[in-house]
Every structure is written in structure tokens, then in C-alpha cells.
Structure 1
């Protein structure tokens, strides 16, 4: 029987008063984000997958069994790489020396990533002769990531790699993480408590609380749930993938088409026709109308069908899930507006989307 590619992770682990109890089936490629507040069990789960934490359970990675019950491969026999919050660079070695350390660990026949590729992906060509103490925090983390991928892992684990960086360094390093995600043909499990990082990087998301999984699934579908397992409040939003199809140089706008419609965006990144972009639309920026009203300032009018209406815990507001084609959206309205418009599941409406943000 042919194994289905993917990661199957089942762990039951008690650490003092804390119990980790998870049963997950994750994609065998792309970025899976483990998301939740500090102490929810994200890092404990990552350490169990790495073999750094003793735990009973099973672990299969793309058809290869790494653990079954108490029969577990030791860490050094698991073909994975682990990027920690602290870079752990060797201070006596240059950037080139640190990279060669990871590269030389792998037999030639098993190397899937070249030194040139890692240097290009992480933008390190001008840093190769520098010592770690001459690097910024973001640069050190990029070196640590390159050293990790140069071990040609079959699984890459990243434990809040940006948490020690300031906001400027986070913005600087994010495009390199995206390039790494798009270039590696292996699964990446990324621990974070940052909504912005998850929205920009993840394909699949796992929400954890108190050692258990409270929600998981593809990023687009999971964020669009009306029960809001992520508790994002004012940051409640959806993520959609779109393709740039037109540019309006006069007004510095570009049109991005998705399954179900299109959105006009600020063209401040010199987008190319055909370029794929990831877009975030906040629920608070989506108002609804029963008909299209072209004589108003909102540029984006998208026809949609109401799928679900859910009163929120905060008094006076309601969350509405809609579909434009196959693409889910969320709209947060006052409950009074929902009543005045007599909105109900199945109704056809127009979404008036005030603003959108490019996140990738």
C-alpha cells in the first residue's frame, strides 16, 4: 500500500501539570503554522516532532515512520533541521564557515540544496566573509536559516525565528522567508503567535490552546470561520490568493483577480502582469449593500452570497461569512444593520470593500 504524503503526528506528553494531547494530519509540503498564545504547547509539540522531548506517540513524515509508541528514532537520525529563536552561530567562524558547517554534515549523494542556492535564497552573498558579531539580528537569523537548509532536511522546523527581532528587522527578513517557502519542496512547520507572520507565510494553520488543537485546516478556510477560534478581534480577516491582471498607471492602482471577482489595490510594489499576490481583507473593512451603488468612494464592489450569520460575544455586532465564487469573505456589521437590511443566509448582496492589504 502506497503511503499518502503528509505528516501524521499523534503525541501524549505530560510535563508537570501540562498535558500535550494532539492528533494531527498535516500537508507534506508548504508552511504549516502552529499558532497560539505563549504556553499553549506550540514549542512542546515542535520538540516532540524533533525528538528533543520524550513523548509516547506516533510520527510519520511523508510516508517514513520516525516514531511508533516508545520506539523512536534519536534526534540525529531524523532528517530535519531546527531553527531556534537564538541563532546559535559559531562566533569563531565567518558566515561562510558557518554555512560550510551545515553543508559538510551531509554526504554528497544526499545533498539536495547547494551552497549557491542557500546563499541566493537568503541574500547572503555580500556577507560571506563577515564574522557573526558584525551582523545585524536579521542577518544572523538569515545565516542560521541558510545553515539549516544546507543540511538538506526532509522537514524544516522553525520556532518563532523572528521573535527576537525588532519590527524593522522583521520586515527586512520576511521576503527571504517567502523565498525559502517557495523554493523548498519540503514541509515547514513554523511556530508563531504573530497574526501578521501567519497571514503572510502559512498555507495551513493549527490553533493550539492548553496543549490541545482547537482548530486546524487550510489558512483561507480556517480564518474564515465565524466561530473565530483564533480570537483575533479587530484583526479578524481573510486571506485570498489573486493574480495581477491590469495596472492603472494614472492612479497607481492594479487589478488583482481571484475566484469570484477582482479587487483594485495600490500599485506601490511595481507588480508585473501575471504576478501572484496574497491579499488580506479585514472584516471591519467590508460593508454590505442590497444593490450596487457606483456613486460612492469605495472602489471595490464585489457580488457575493451570504453563507452564515453569527452574533458576536461583544454586544451589538454580528459576523457574516460570504462567498464570492469559491472565495470566503467576512464582514463585521452592527446587529442593527443586519436587522435593517433583513440579511439572511442565501441572500445575494454586494460587498463594499474599503481597503485591502498586500501581505505577500
Structure 2
């Protein structure tokens, strides 16, 4: 049965670790595997890192650029060269591809979010493999995905994919970094992300010299994707044939089970498409009412308001211990909330001088994280 597959390949798999030059044999095998999957009727999207790494090698840089301006310039050099390599390989296999460059702002506005969805749908209907990357050349820091693991999870959520494959430089998730902890235990199946906390998995920090990811970003991506009902796999990028084997039922890599009741499309947009502009801290009663009772957020339960935001903008919602428990769209600006936080809903009219909404965040616009 045809399925929708999103495959993300990291810089560490696309390039040779010593030189930063492209690992052509891996890329050629990947193109072959994805073309075969397409010929079997599967819808395929490739999220590819590597523009900064390729640009750095082309310009003779010995390490990844640190300043934003230099990184954006290097990405502009690398992206064209990377797409040329893909185009040559896929053309040889008679498989059409398309370049799709996204910034976070493409997902923040609901209309643009739906437009991106429609573009993907049309490309997949045409039998094209979209090759997606963050538009590093124009993205501003506040509106960056931060890494392509997050981008791939958002794309998988957007198109309601069946599978998200995160191809990386390790064969699966371990209880600690196997490169530095010899007795780290492999993890083949994760039923829910909460399990990893219980197992005290050590995720480490940044990935390779040339990449921005690390295991922590992959687990974060799995959280986004599984909430959308997408089965997520971490497996080794050097062996792209693993993708077909995994789809056919082989137990390779680490698989994250999708949530049995995925979050709806609009709530996924609120939770992961939007960039929270402020933070609301709650007392214990309000935090419990939202986490366990599925209630709306009222002004009475808010203890602190941080950031500047307007009505209908996104905020993060935190419990008293500082843990983010939800995200939502607010019915009041930050200025209004500073005046009415901790007060009963019936007092709002008297405090503000006009009739406001009874809820600060209605449960229809609130998503548990």
C-alpha cells in the first residue's frame, strides 16, 4: 500500500568527516533507494542538510562558520551545488525533483502554512520528490527552525506522513553516547517519549563538526512527529537501503511509536508551527486543570506574564516549576494580562473598562506539549 515518507539526511551522513567534501557514494545510493520507493507508488519527501558544509568545502573553510551573515553567505554557495549533485543523480534515474526552501515564517501564518501544504500535495501528486532545506540565506535568527530534524518533523506533520526517517551517523538511539560510554545500551523501540526520561537516556549536545543536530534534536523531532501520528525512525545514514528494509518490517535502528490519537492539524500548527512570543506561568491548580482536566486557561490561574505579545498570538504555558506544559493562542495582549492575572473572570470588565473574553486561552486554541 502506498505510503508518505519523509526522509531527513544530516550533514554528518552527506559529507566525509575529515574533509567536509560530499560522500558521493552515500548520496548516489540514497537517490537510488528513494527513486525505487517512488516507482513502487510511495510519496517521498527528502529533507537535506549539507548546504553550509558543501559551501564551506567549496570556499576552503576549515570549520563551520559561526556568524549568521557568514553562514548565510556560505549556505547560498552550497545550496546550488548540493542541488546540482541531486539533480544529476535523480535525472540519471529519470526521477523528477523540486527544490523547496522554507523559513519558519512560512509556517507561522495560517494561510502560508496551508499554501505550503498545497504545494507539497501537488508535487507529490505529480510524482516529484521535493528536496527541502531551511532557507538559511534569508532566515532571521528568531524565525529559524534551528536544525533540519525539527524542520523534517514539521514537514512530516504538515503532510500527515506515515513515516519519518532521521538518517544520522549512529545506527540507533543509545542510553548514552556509545562513542564515549562503551557499555551504552541500544534502544530499539520507544513507545512514548516519556519512557526516555524514565530510562534516564543521556542525549548529549551538538552533533558532528559540520552538523547542527545531535540526539537531543532527534528526540525533539520524534516528539513532534509522533504527536501527529507519524512513526519515526533513527537509523544510520551510510546505509540508505535500511529505509526499504524498515518499511518491510525489519527491526533496524530505533523506532518511535506514533501516538494512537494524533493531535488535529490546526492544533499541530499552534503547537509547532507558531513561534511563542511570550510565557504564562500558572499556579498548581490551573496547571492541573489544563494538564489533566482539558480545561481552558482563566486569568485567575496566571501568576506571571513574560514577553510582549498581542491578542491571538502564541504563548508558551508553564507550571510553577518552569516546565512548559502547553501552548496556545491568547485572547488578551501581554499588557492586558499584566492587569488581570490572578483575578477572577467577572472582575475583567471592571479592571480593563470593557467586556473581554472569559478565557485567556480557550481549550480549542490550547495544545498540551
Relative to the length of structure 2, the TM-score reads: 0.30
Q: Would you tell me which structure has more helix in proportion to its own residues?
A: 2
Relative to the length of structure 1, the TM-score reads: 0.30
